[in-house]
Every structure is written in structure tokens, then in C-alpha cells.
Structure 1
Amino acid sequence: MTLGSNEGFAVPERLVEHARRFYAEGGTPATPRVAATVLLLRPGTGGFEVYVIRRVAEMAFGGMYAFPGGGVDPSDSRPDLDWSGPAPERWGERLRLPADAAQAVVCAAAREVFEEAGVLLAGRPGGDVLGDVSGDDWESARQALVSRRTGFAELLRRQRLALHSDLLVPWSRWITPEFEPRRYDTYFFVALLPDGQRTRDVSGEADHTMWVRPADALARARAGEIAMLPPTMVTLAEVADCADLATVPAVAAGRDVATPITPRLELPGDGGRPRFLLDPRNTSI
């Protein structure tokens, strides 16, 4: 299942208003904040499923279905973070980032998926990945992380755990269009839900969550049943093309995960329908 590079994407009215105001006033683009988001995948009937959440209306991109994720925090680059799997230097080569910046992006991905979905991509250093982390003690730890009363490195150290970076597979990079007042430079990752763990509807930033087949989620978005922005729709289409879960890492290994993709908003002057377009030179669709 693919989306053509010249396929238009429906644009929420509030985004059109932002764009018209920005260009009319000669606005200066905001500097994008580096962020990370994770497509959690699990086996499902007739293939595999992805976990999506709907952002609360009060947030940036509120009402949109997306994947768990958020901005990189200064604590994500702490040198005392216990780490297992490919070293930050290797991640830096893959993402074309300095080692400390690559660590921060990978750490943010793991931290955000724990904050927003209750899934912890960690385990004993050099050992097995944790199973069930839904108990009250883990929930207290998660809440402390969300409120920034503790950092991810500190949480792992207290539990004698290490972030298992090998559980994350880089997929793509997207930058929010220049007219948006809140812009993000987001690295997309995929991760298989660890055995024994389950997602929990714990995030105060989401008002609905669901596991759904990527193709079904995309079909519902195209039909207008649920709202999604182009990065989510394109990524769903790309992942849906994978034959099974085992195929996903192999496909990811051949992708350009460092060159950013930025949707371009077309605003016809003849009263035509505004739509997002994607540049075929920097996206695989």
C-alpha cells in the first residue's frame, strides 16, 4: 500500500489559517524542536497491529491520531545513562548526528513510549528485556518521570536497568512545515512490543488509544473517520507494505533515516482546496 508523492492530504482548517496568516505577515519560521516518536508493533489477526493515540484537543496537533512521542529533554543526553545495544556512536553514524545528539534522540524515544504508553524498552545490562511493568511501583516511577521529578537515566539506575537501544529501529525523519508556530524535527522509530508487556492508557496527553492494523488505520483516515497528519499517514502506508513483523527491520535497514521530509502546503489562489504535497526527492513513497 503506497501513497503517491503528488497525492494531496486533507488539511485541517486551523492549519490553513496558520499558513495564510504566516505568509501574509511574512512570518519567520520557528526553530524546530528535536523529537522522537515510536511505532509500537505487535502480532495481530491477519498480520500485525500498530498502537496509535489521539492527542487531546488542547495540545499542538490536538484531535489527531499519532504515535507515542515527544520532544528531546536535556536529560536525555546524560553521560551516565546505562545503555545496552549499539553504542551512541553507531547510532550517530546511522542518524548522521554527533554521538551525544544521537543518544538523546534514542533515549527520548524510549522515555516517551514509557511515559505515554507504559512500555519500557529496558532490561538488565546485557540480559533479558523486562516483562510486565504495569504494577503500582512502576506506575509511580512513570509518574515521577512525567512530572520531571526524576530523569530516565536515574529511573533506570535505581532499577539496575539499561536502555536496550537494539529494540528501536529507525524509520524516517520529518520536519513540521515552516508556517506552524510549534515545529518539530522528529525521528520516527519502530519497536516490537516486548513479551509480557502491554500498553496502558496512561497519558494525560491522549484521550483515546487503540491497536489497529496499519492498513485499516490508513483506510479510516482516508475515509475521514479519524484525523491524521501526513507523517502519520505516510508512515502507516510504508509499514503496511511490510509482509510481516519480521520484514520490518529488514526494510528499515535500507531506508534513508537522516534526510528530513517536510510536507509542503499548497494554497491555491483560485479557491481550490488546500492540500499537503510531498517532495518525491526526499521521501520513499
Structure 2
Amino acid sequence: MPSSSLRLFPVPPYLRGAAESWLEHGDRTPRKPRLASSVVLVRDAPRGTETYLAYRRGESPLGKVAFPGGSIDPGDDDAATWFGPTPTAWAKSFGIDDPRLARRHVVAAIRELFEETGILLAGPDESTLLEANRGPEWMAARAAIASGDSSFLDLLTRRGLGLRTDLLRPLSNWQTADFALRRFDTRYFAVVQPLGQEASLLEGKGSWGQWRSAAEEIAARNTTALGDEIGLPDTVGLTLSELTVPQVELVLEKLAGARGCIAYLASRRPAAVFQPELVQNDGGYWLAVQLSGVGEGSAQRGR
């Protein structure tokens, strides 16, 4: 049987007001979460497994520092050439019965990864992947998609490309804590950086994004090194737990202990819905997370 342990993560500064109000006024109906996808982009490096982290403005349910990701768009339902597991197979891996919903999450994951990093999981056939993603035309395409002026799937169709969904691996499904004013129901995926493609910030939108050593970030988690290095008003002086949401920190822990990218992607994970619970302890507000010892899990609700 896997071991279990309860972990407490501090409520980030920008969410403390909402946490205080929620506990002060008692249980209320939580806001409906928006469907979202997020991608853990990884690569092997001399200093250990690295992942791409980026700063997110505002009060993102994904964290101030997070993996690429965002909400599902209506355009994610459009037709596209599809390589890899069928939507039905993806639904089974998610532990759900809705292939259309599974398809939306997969498309959103590939689209958000392209928008935010330029990494494009697409190719002309099931065994070929785009080998170059740099240049002004690709940056312009990313900007147009991010602004809603262009369709991601239309771009692929015009270029004769299909979605390489076989390159993605499902990780976990997290719902934002009930008290938050903005909530996501997020499917997390992982993918290895494709050969010949480089990650970059979207011009005019991104403030900070870097490849970071998971082991080094975990080793420095109780310091303010990362927040101070980013150097923005809402990151300076904050620890890793205050910059991220629990699922990001837990993924970093798993990456830090993994023997390379392939081993990390090959790990088996349960199909379950996870959600932190808001608690008060020692005069502070915390997110209670129940670890099952398998995957990047938290307090389970349902399923």
C-alpha cells in the first residue's frame, strides 16, 4: 500500500484576503472552475532534470510562477489532423467518459505550449515533428493566436501539420481550492523538449521565463532566491511555496528525484481529481494536501 502524509502549503499572499473572507463567512458555494490545461516541459541537463517555468501576471490559479498553460478555448473543438491516441483513449487515461472533453484538454495543452513557449507538437505525419520553431513568422503566429486574431488549428491546417498528441503524457487533474475567486479545473501533461526546438517568451507579453533545475529549486525552496531573481514587485521576498500552487511544487519534487526525463514520463499515475483544502493552523492560512505516495497527488475529492 502507498504511504500517505498530510502536507501544508502556505496560501500565497495574493489569495490571503479571499481565504480570510471564506473562513470568516462560513461555507459558501464555490465559483465554477474554468477548464484548463498545463504542460510540464522537461529536458535532461548536466545539473539534472530541468523544466520551463514562467511568471504569470495577476492572480493566476496556476500560480505566479508556473508551467505553460491556460483555459480551454471554443476553437479547441475545431477540426484538425490528429496523430497519436484517439480522444477516446485519452478519456480512458483521464478516467472520464467524455472523449470530446478529453480532446479539448489535449488540444488546449498543445496550443498553450505553443503560445507561451513556441514549442510546437505538430508534424506532417505520425512519425515526423517540426524541427524549427524560431523566426519572426512563428512569433507573429503565436501573438495572433494569443490575441484571438488567429486560430491555432487553422494555422496547422494551412501548413499541412497535425497534432502529435502521442508526445504528451498525462500527469494529474487538479481543481483550485473552493475559496479562490478564480478557479481552474486543470489537466496537467508532460512532454520532453523536442529536438531542434527552443523555448522562448512571447514578445510583448511574457515578463520572465527560464529553464530551471528542479533539484536546485527544491533545495532552495525555503529561501527567496527565485522570487528575488525574477525581481518583480509581487515576487521579491517570496519563497517557492508562495510563488507557486501546490501542484507545481509537487511536480518539481518528483522531477528532482527522477532519473531523467524518460523515467519521469514513464511513472504510473492514478486517474483522479485532486483539490487542496483551506485550513487554519498556528494563526495562518494553509492549503492542506494529502499525498498518496503515487504521482503528484493531493487531497482527493470524488472519482
Q: Confirm or deny a common fold (TM above 0.5).
A: yes
Letter in 1 for 2:244: M
1:277 maps onto 2:288 in alignment: yes
Question: Is there any run of 5+ residues in structure 1 with no aligned partner, and where?
Answer: none
Letter in 2 for 1:30: R
Deviations 1:27-73 (A, max 9, x none): 320111111101111121132210000112x3435972100000111
Distance in 2 (alpha carbons) for counterparts of 1:176 and 1:205: 24
Question: Is there any run of 5+ residues in structure 2 with no aligned partner, and where?
Answer: 228-242, 298-303
- Indicate the SS of the match to 1:231: helix
Q: Where in structure 1 do 4 or more consecutive aligned residues deviate above 3 Å?
A: 203-206, 280-285
Q: TM-score, normalised by structure 1?
A: 0.89
- Tell me the equivalent position of 2:33: 32
- Tell me the equivalent position of 1:45: 46
Distance in 2 (alpha carbons) for counterparts of 1:181 and 1:11: 13
- Tell me the equivalent position of 1:188: 188
- Tell me the equivalent position of 1:267: 280
Equivalent runs, 1:155-234 vs 2, <5 Å:
155-202=155-202, 206-225=206-225, 226=227, 227-234=243-250
- Tell me the equivalent position of 2:81: 82
Contact 1:11 1:274 in 2 (8 A): yes
Contact 1:168 1:191 in 2 (8 A): yes
Q: TM-score, normalised by structure 2?
A: 0.84
- Does 182-191 or 134-143 show the bigger shift? 134-143
Distance in 2 (alpha carbons) for counterparts of 1:25 and 1:283: 35
Letter in 2 for 1:18: A
Q: How far did residue 219 of structure 1 move?
A: 2.7
Distance in 2 (alpha carbons) for counterparts of 1:278 and 1:15: 17
Distance in 1 (alpha carbons) for counterparts of 2:12 and 2:265: 33
Q: How far did residue 189 of structure 1 move?
A: 0.7
Letter in 2 for 1:265: L
Deviations 1:259-279 (A, max 9, x none): 1111112114xx523222112
Q: How far did residue 141 of structure 1 move?
A: 1.5
RMSD of equivalent CA atoms: 2.2
Letter in 1 for 2:285: P
Distance in 2 (alpha carbons) for counterparts of 1:111 and 1:63: 19
1:245 maps onto 2:256 in alignment: no
1:69 maps onto 2:69 in alignment: yes
- Tell me the equivalent position of 1:106: 106
Equivalent runs, 1:12-27 vs 2, <5 Å:
12-26=12-26, 27=28
Contact 2:43 2:193 in 1 (8 A): yes
Letter in 1 for 2:119: V
Letter in 1 for 2:283: G
* Identical amino acids, percent of aligned pairs: 32
Mark the CA change 1:236 to 1:274 in structure 2 (over 3 Å): closer, same or farther: same
- Indicate the SS of the match to 2:155: helix
Distance in 1 (alpha carbons) for counterparts of 2:266 and 2:13: 38
Q: How far did residue 77 of structure 1 move?
A: 2.1
